[in-house]
Structure 1
Amino acid sequence: MQIIKNRLLPFFVAFFLLMPFLFISKLDLMVVVNTSRTPFFDVFFAKSSALGNAITVAFVIFLVLLFRLKWLAVFLLGFITQVVIVLLLKKGLFAGELRPYLFFRMNGLLDSVVMIEGLKMRYVNTFPSGHTATIFFLVSFFALLARNRVASWVLLCVGLTVGFSRIYLFQHWYADVYFGMLFGTFSSIIAYLVVKKYPKQWHTKQIRIDFRGAIKETQNALRQLF
């Protein structure tokens, strides 16, 4: 547990400092963020939000293969845990909960905000934010792997950027994002503790990828073609 406290301390600090915002009117928060929009941040947060999708996960899996299989086990278990939690809540307990856009539209409040032109809006299944849960699982996983407090702060900032983007883009309420942060982070913690408690012999092994050989084979194949 001491390792988790040391490496994820920035995350715990962020959770504590951001908790009071849960008690502020969710409508007021959305309006305040919306009135702070700029053309630059419209593009920036639209691009940032994409970090919480499946493509990022696939890329990370490739990176994890470069480390001991223990970390691959942690990653897969944590990711599955995060997905199950999100789906149980989003599609189960809180299925049909209105996202900000539809809530504002149904209550005649759309005139108080301005939408980003061309952005596809989601209507329901708002809790929790899947993008936020995914990115916080990823950044907390790498914080555990990095063993560096500075890296943990940088990774936290990446996660917060993606989380905030979901509010900025009018896709989620603040509570959706906050609990997505919690679910994602604690999924990596649970996976780390489980793998540590039940070590396997294959955890110490590592997949060897011969990049130089692969490059040479590719070059040879290209020479034969051209």
Structure 2
Amino acid sequence: MKTLRAIIAGNRLFFAFWGLFFVLGLILVLYMGKAGSFVELNPYHRTTLDTVFMSVTFMGDGLFSVIVIVVFLLRRCWSKATQVLAAFLLSALVAQILKNLFSMPRPMQFFPPGAYPYFIKDVTHLGFASFPSGHTTSIFALATILALFTPDRRAKLVYLFAGVLVGYSRIYLGQHFLNDVLMGSVIGTLVAVLVHWLFVAKGERWFARPRGNI
């Protein structure tokens, strides 16, 4: 039975780079503020990049996680499908609770009209659901749980890079501030670790049980 410490130790490279991403992001937010860091991270916009990041951000959509779950089910990877589903649902629940609790304005709602020139028509939203970023929460829950499944270090870093890229896409598209993205990454990562730990501690025996004995 894996302990929580063993899970962390076996994925230290993933968590080390995630920690670096979080610390650097936190320093930027503390130094420049959420508005200043948002503008600093958005110095260059082009129509081509808009299209690219609108595609990238889809990986943080709930539908993308559902597709991954379906793939695992088709491959009869019941335990992996269950863990991805649990991580997705639990992290989404936590994110929604915090969104309603804090009710923070999105960048387009936060900045005065004309203060920021790169909001994208019919893409960037108004509203008070900025903190935390739901898409970032979703992709980090998925990226972390997939990283925990594989022993391949390069694959772990690819999953982490995908999470960071989706997080940045939320800033680029004007949907969230950096602090929203950082908190989303924390929720997604911690929930995924918790789900995986609970599963290997409690659930493995259920999935290992012959189906005829159920």
Q: TM-score, normalised by structure 2?
A: 0.85
Cα offset, 1:167, TM superposition: 0.5
Q: How many corresponding residue pairs?
A: 202
Cα distance in 1 for residues equivalent to 2:36 and 2:29: 12
**Contact in 1 for aligned 2:91/2:191 (Cα 8 Å):** yes
Residues 145 and 192 in structure 2, CA contact (< 8 A), matched pair in contact too:
yes
The higher-RCO structure (CA 8 Å, 6+ apart) is 1
TM-score (normalised: structure 1): 0.81
In structure 2, relative to structure 1, the CA distance for the partners of 1:196 and 1:29 (3 Å cut) is same
Q: Offset at 1:165? A: 0.6
* Partner SS state of residue 98, structure 1: coil
Partner of 2:152: 148
In structure 2, distance between residues paired with 1:16 and 1:115? 27
List gaps (5 residues or longer) in structure 1. 208-226
Q: Could you tell me how far 1:136 is from its partner in structure 2?
A: 0.6
2:29 is the alignment partner of 1:15: no
Which residue of the other structure, out of 22, 26, 51, is the alignment partner of 2:34?
A: 26
Matches within 5 A, 1:141-220: 141-204=145-208
What percent identity do the matched residue pairs reach? 27
**Alpha carbons of structure 1 residues 76 and 111: separation in structure 2 relative to 1, 3 Å:** closer
TM-superposition CA deviations, 1:8-48 (whole Å, max 9, x none): 33323322333312302211122223332122211111111
Q: What is aligned with 2:54?
A: 46
Query: Does the Cα contact within 8 Å between 1:67 and 1:206 map onto a contact in 2?
Result: no
- The answer to whether the Cα contact below 8 Å between 2:70 and 2:81 also exists between their aligned partners in 1 is no
Residue 101 of structure 1 aligns to a residue in which SS?
helix
Q: Is the 8 A contact 1:6 1:149 kept in 2?
A: no
The reply to whether residue 99 of structure 1 matches residue 106 of structure 2 is yes
Q: Could you tell me how far 1:139 is from its partner in structure 2? A: 0.8
Larger radius of gyration: 1
Is 2:76 the partner of 1:72?
A: no
